[in-house]
Amino acid sequence: MGSSQYRILLLGAASAGDLRIGREQKRIRAAVESALHSDSIDLDHRPAATTGDLLDGITRFRPHIVHFTGHSDDKLIEFEKDVDKQHHGVVITAIAYAAQFYAAVANGQSIRSAHPSAQAALELAGLSSSELPVLAHAPDVDPATAILVKPMNANEYRVG
């Protein structure tokens, strides 16, 4: 893996039935693989993620982006537990958001421009603007200039 490859850790956690974690991760993978610069993205997906998966993923995979699919709010992320107990929640998936966000990133857009593009995908799918995800980032990161995949110049393209 070269230094120009970016690592994305996909964590999914939801008890059976209320979210489509596998489907979302499949759509993300397909969107990235079909993008122009797909070789610049390395995905590590972990469905039924526990807090141990989060810690292991951060420590060993060292991702540039951690994408969590599951139940959360601004104070809590709900990971899987090692028990098989169902929980009930609102049936809303972020499949449209995630697929659009990572397609935009893999096509060379900044994090700042990929986010509203992905929000628009959710609005087109019927989600109200008050339910849209927000973009969180470290204070020393500017999402407007954070471009993870940069296009090659003309003489770097291979023909054939």
Return the higher-pLDDT residue of 80 and 68. 68
Please determine, for residue 81, whether its predicted confidence score (pLDDT) is greater than 90.
no
In whole numbers, what is the pLDDT of the chain averaged over residues? 79
Q: What is the pLDDT of residues 111-139, one digit of tens each?
A: 999 999 888 888 877 778 888 888 988 88
CA distances from 76 to 10, 29, 96 (A): 17, 26, 22
Give the Cα separation of 116 and 122 in Å (integer): 10
Answer whether residue 127 is part of any domain: yes
Q: Domain range for residue 25?
A: 6-156
pLDDT score at 1:
41
Give the Cα separation of 25 and 20 in Å (integer): 9
> Among candidates 54, 51, 49, which has minimal Cα distance to 19?
49
Q: What is the pLDDT of residues 8-56, one digit of tens each?
A: 999 988 765 567 777 888 899 999 999 999 999 999 988 888 888 888 8
Return the higher-pLDDT residue of 1 and 44. 44
User: Is the pTM of the predicted complex or chain greater than 0.85?
Assistant: no
86 confidence band (pLDDT: 50, 70, 90): very low
Matching residue, tokens 């998966």: 53
As for how many domains the chain has, the answer is 1
Mean pLDDT of 141-146: 91
Number of residues written out for the chain: 160
Give the Cα separation of 135 and 149 in Å (integer): 19
Answer whether residue 1 is part of any domain: no
AA letter at 112: R
* Whole-number percent of the chain with pLDDT over 70: 81
pLDDT score at 55:
85
What does the longest C-alpha to C-alpha distance in the chain come to? 55
* DSSP state letters, 104-142: HHHTT--HHHHHHHHHHHHHHTT--GGG-------TT--
